[in-house]
Amino acid sequence: MEKTFNKRERSTNEMTVYGIRPVMEAIKSGKEIDKILIQNGISNPLISELRGLIKQHDIHFQFVPIEKLNRATRNGNHQGVMAIISPINYFSIMDIIPTTIAEGKTPFVVMLDKVTDVRNLGAIARTAECAGVDAIVIPTHGSAAINDDAIKSSSGALLRIPICKEDNLKTVINFAKQSGLQVCAATEKSSTPYTQVDFTQPTLLIMGAEGSGVSNEYIKISNVKAKLPMLGQVESLNVSVAAGIFMYEVLRQRNIQ
């Protein structure tokens, strides 16, 4: 069944915009901007105006050597600024959870904490779309870029499942709890096997990056902590594999055929 939030058209073409005024116009027009690159050491009134817009709209930016901008534009006509426009439209989890509940469904949302590898993000999205996940939440900063490589790794799933890019994951967790969702952090620090968690309840599942795992501050405010059994010598599973195991346990418990 097609989800309500999948009806918006999404473009697979990642765009780049060069030049100070074109980038400013892209911001003002409401384009989904992943990040803005600004030449190191550049300073003039227009750059100051651009910096003000970036701050106002809370857009991620970074300073880079002029050589990087030259390579990206080839003709060097960038005026020290380049914006990377997102190939997808993002959604708000504050809209998706209430809508999912209103439709009479049991919400299932996956949150990714510090997952920075585009292939892992793509693989998780592919499984999530197949498993009927209602949305994937990623942080505005510190997440893998949603670009052509990520979309290819997801087999197009990133174009079909709602992706919510949120400034504050703690706020999302608290909102989910207030909306009646249990928050389950996947962590080896838990003593509870994942099969013993009641996933028939509305659920927000948090998956962390390999190595660092879910942030301690999110673990502390989660309702449930669950782990996967590890019998070998390797300390952790690939996050996309671990996420897939959790997602299909949700399907198993909900008796979805």
Q: Which domains does the chain carry?
A: 15-85 (3.30.1330.30), 90-253 (3.40.1280.10)
Is residue 111 within a helix (H) or strand (E), and if so which, with residue range?
strand 108-113
Range 1-27 average pLDDT: 63
Other CB atoms closer than 10 Å to residue 83's CB: what's the count? 25
Name the pLDDT band for 2 (thresholds 50, 70, 90): very low
Tens digits of residue pLDDT in 77-89: 899 999 988 888 8
- The residue to which tokens 């030049």 are assigned: 19
CA distances 189 to 136, 184, 212, Å, are 23, 13, 12
Tens digits of residue pLDDT in 154-207: 999 999 999 999 989 999 999 999 999 999 999 988 989 999 999 999 999 999
pLDDT at residue 124 greater than cutoff 90:
yes
Spatial separation of the C-alpha atoms in residues 40 and 31, rounded to whole Å? 24
Tens digits of residue pLDDT in 37-60: 999 999 999 999 999 999 998 888
